[in-house]
Structure 1
Amino acid sequence: MFFGRNIHEFVRFKWIYFFLSLVLMSLSFLFGEYINGSKNWISFFGITFQPSEFGKIFVILYLSSILRNNRDKIDKYMAIFLILFSLIFLILQKDLGTAIIIIFLSMLMYYIRTSKYKFLLIIIIATLILGVLAYINFPHVRVRIHAWLNPESDPNFTTYQVLQGFFAMGSGGFLGRGLYRGNLELIPVNYTDYIFVSIVEELGIFTGILITLLYFLFFIKVMKNSMKMKAKDESKLLMVGFNIIIALQTTIILGGVLNLIPLTGITLPFISYGGSSIISMFIMFGIMQKLLEGDFL
């Protein structure tokens, strides 16, 4: 919250944001290690972190910087290159959750700023091609798709996580089994991907609904505030971009846990265990707070 006294100076560093986005989105693929089938993490002096969590921030900063005037064709081509570059490396790292977020983030931010469909079509077509290639070449992706379509097909192996999540939420009922009374040892990754399942089992579906409503109210409140801002377009784009990130991440992980969409390994914002996720979320939160205070205006 102490950086960026003037938003007009802040957005001048678009090439720094571009370069940092490229580095952070590809760093895990080049120097990372596999954990639970994904190559998303880097260990540095005993500290493990996920570079793509911070890469999302710089992607938003870059898009906000170039979309404020939307006149330079070079910026548009560089934005397309950045997004496709990020998607390729995220898919190679098997970080499908972040890849989905980057896709929808870029499409929504561009459409909000320009109301044009051409860029959206390019991203959608490229995404479909990359998705098909990922399904063909990565068994990890095929397993997730099959588990989503047929959750009862392999209860002892590939669909075990999905079914255990259903059993846990069902056993909790409306008010839950009570704090610390759940069978969390039976739920895989209950402190990251499936933290919502753990909460519902112990505190009930009622608490799960309340948490979901809190995320929804947060999204609505930030969108209302961004529309009321008297700042330039770049300030509003930053607000909307960060808000979209939090909303998309929440929707994707809750949708995966409830088997509405294929499960992807991302964290539930502000709740799941994960230092990189928590720090990146609070960085975004701090910038939004700064924007609302008017120090950037």
Structure 2
Amino acid sequence: MSFLIIEISKYMMIFLMILYALLNFRYFGMKEDTGRNRLCLGQNFLMFFIHFLGYLTLYLTLEDEKILAFYWAQVLFFLLYLGISRLIYKNISRLLLNNMCMLLSIGFLMLSRLSTDKAGKQFVIVVVSAVITLIIPFIIDRVWQLSKIPWVYGGAGLFLLLVVCVRGITSYGAQLSITVGGIGFQPSEFVKISFVFFVATMFYRGTNFSNVAVTTIAAAVHVLILVASKDLGSALLFFATYLFMLFVATSNWLYLLTGVGAGGAASVIAYYLFDHVKVRVTAWIDPWSDVGNKGYQIAQSLFAIGTGGWFGMGLCQGLPDKIPVVEKDFMFSAISEELGGIFAICLILIYLGCFLQFMMLAAKMKAVFYKLIAAGLGCLFIVQVLLTVGGATKFIPMTGVTMPFVSYGGSSVFSTFILFGVVQGLYILKKNEEEENEKN
């Protein structure tokens, strides 16, 4: 009987995930708030149902009472977070709020399957992050001085990156984190947000050649420090975000093409300078030539994705833990293996829905500063997703970048909460402005 329930649940989860992804895009075709609210309510139902089926499967498979307790703790958190967010901010983007919770629920589900200990730690970090970042939309809506302190953002970011470069803890060939008061965190996850604010404030001042040159030099210093720390995944993320923001601010194709060329040249130089980059590129080109060593991680990832097929093996039926660092860099592979390729594609579509919301908001914002913030954070978010998925599927070499809200990692989760909090603040600001215009 349990086997039948587990098998039916697998296909129901896929079907419900397809419906959720479709509603995610149907939202953009609706103009009336009433229809959008009904759609978002439907998304909430689908999310809780998928979440329930996933944990029902885990409980029936593992027969662990802790799974049930953890499930109910999550349900309580999601209900409170959804309710309190909408109570405090009546003009909040319900689509982004729903997608955040959907991505978090999938992350909790997969972490519970891989390691209940890590899932518990992630839950604590999520709750703390959610509480702290609830104030961010309030700050964005009321603090106008945010656009007047570019070198505060730039200086703070460079200082943190330098500390990591000099005193950082080395992990997988790169200096990534530091420890303060016994708590380890990865500063680059937070600096990427201050970096977007720095670039936005600089271009808000002007896009003349001298200002662009100064901003480019400062951005290059950020990237070079990351390269010196061998954190090349973050360096690529910073570079792509800056290039996109530069093009949005100036609409200058020469800047864009020059930046792409410089990035390509820098990639070649990095290949010859850093041994671990050579290892990753070699593994990317032909993982089967050294499948027992250099190519093992990517080979296992491809095996997992291929084994899962369209419909997946089912939760706890695959071997995702055979992939090294699966809970951080290769969650997409684990999801593909056990929940299926269709489920994984729908997950990407949810990320894409968030990105479209960011870009539509950027297009609507009249203030250049806010427009650049929304565009920069949107680029930062989607490039991170593409790097993660691309690395897991062998589309690009592995970069060590995590999947937002899904992968294990406190710094990643907290910084993504901040990112969404800022965008929600901009969304609320725009909706309040539109309501004021309608009254007048």
Following the alignment from structure 1 to structure 2, what is the Cα–Cα distance between the partners of residues 225 and 130? 33
Higher mean C-alpha displacement, 181-190 vs 239-248: 181-190
Q: Larger Cα Rg: Structure 1 or Structure 2?
A: 2
Letter of the aligned partner of 2:296 in structure 1?
Y
- Structural mapping, 1:130-141, within 5 Å: 130-141=266-277
Going from structure 1 to structure 2, the CA distance change for 1:122 and 1:27 (only over 3 Å counts) comes to farther
Higher mean C-alpha displacement, 254-263 vs 114-123: 114-123
Higher mean C-alpha displacement, 63-72 vs 145-154: 63-72
Following the alignment from structure 2 to structure 1, what is the Cα–Cα distance between the partners of residues 167 and 178? 7
Residue number in structure 1 paired with 2:151: 15
- Structure 1 residue 250: Cα displacement: 0.3
Residue number in structure 2 paired with 1:172: 308
Following the alignment from structure 1 to structure 2, what is the Cα–Cα distance between the partners of residues 129 and 173? 37
- Structural mapping, 1:148-163, within 5 Å: 148-163=284-299
* Aligned length, in residue pairs: 296
Residue number in structure 1 paired with 2:416: 281
Following the alignment from structure 2 to structure 1, what is the Cα–Cα distance between the partners of residues 258 and 208? 18
- Structure 1 residue 89: Cα displacement: 1.4
- SS for the counterpart of 1:188 is coil
- Structural mapping, 1:28-43, within 5 Å: 28-43=164-179
- Structural mapping, 1:1-297, within 5 Å: 1=136, 2-6=138-142, 8-71=144-207, 74-229=210-365, 231-294=366-429
Following the alignment from structure 1 to structure 2, what is the Cα–Cα distance between the partners of residues 146 and 222? 36
Letter of the aligned partner of 1:220 in structure 2?
L
Bigger proportion of residues as helix: 2
- SS for the counterpart of 2:198 is helix
Q: Is the 8 A contact 2:328 2:408 kept in 1?
A: yes
Following the alignment from structure 2 to structure 1, what is the Cα–Cα distance between the partners of residues 182 and 160? 19
* Superposition TM-score, scaled by structure 1 size: 0.93
Higher mean C-alpha displacement, 201-210 vs 74-83: 74-83
Q: Is the 8 A contact 2:141 2:429 kept in 1?
A: no
Higher mean C-alpha displacement, 128-137 vs 244-253: 128-137
Q: Is the 8 A contact 2:384 2:402 kept in 1?
A: yes
Following the alignment from structure 1 to structure 2, what is the Cα–Cα distance between the partners of residues 128 and 277? 27
Following the alignment from structure 2 to structure 1, what is the Cα–Cα distance between the partners of residues 148 and 255? 23
Following the alignment from structure 1 to structure 2, what is the Cα–Cα distance between the partners of residues 279 and 94? 23
Letter of the aligned partner of 2:194 in structure 1?
F
Identity across the alignment (%): 33
- SS for the counterpart of 1:239 is helix
- Structure 1 residue 6: Cα displacement: 4.1
Following the alignment from structure 2 to structure 1, what is the Cα–Cα distance between the partners of residues 344 and 293? 27
Following the alignment from structure 1 to structure 2, what is the Cα–Cα distance between the partners of residues 72 and 204? 50
* Superposition TM-score, scaled by structure 2 size: 0.64
Q: Is the 8 A contact 2:392 2:398 kept in 1?
A: yes
Instruction: Report Cα offsets for 1:222-276 as digits up to 9, x if no partner.
Output: 21232123x3111111111111111000011101111111111010011101111
Following the alignment from structure 1 to structure 2, what is the Cα–Cα distance between the partners of residues 276 and 224? 27
Letter of the aligned partner of 1:209 in structure 2?
I
| Structure 2: runs of 5+ lacking an equivalent | 1-135, 434-440
- Structure 1 residue 118: Cα displacement: 4.2
| Structure 1: runs of 5+ lacking an equivalent | none
Following the alignment from structure 1 to structure 2, what is the Cα–Cα distance between the partners of residues 234 and 58? 14
Instruction: Report Cα offsets for 1:168-187 as digits up to 9, x if no partner.
Output: 11222221111122212211
Going from structure 1 to structure 2, the CA distance change for 1:13 and 1:69 (only over 3 Å counts) comes to closer
Instruction: Report Cα offsets for 1:32-78 as digits up to 9, x if no partner.
Output: 01112111111222211111111111110011111124246553233
Q: Is the 8 A contact 2:363 2:371 kept in 1?
A: yes
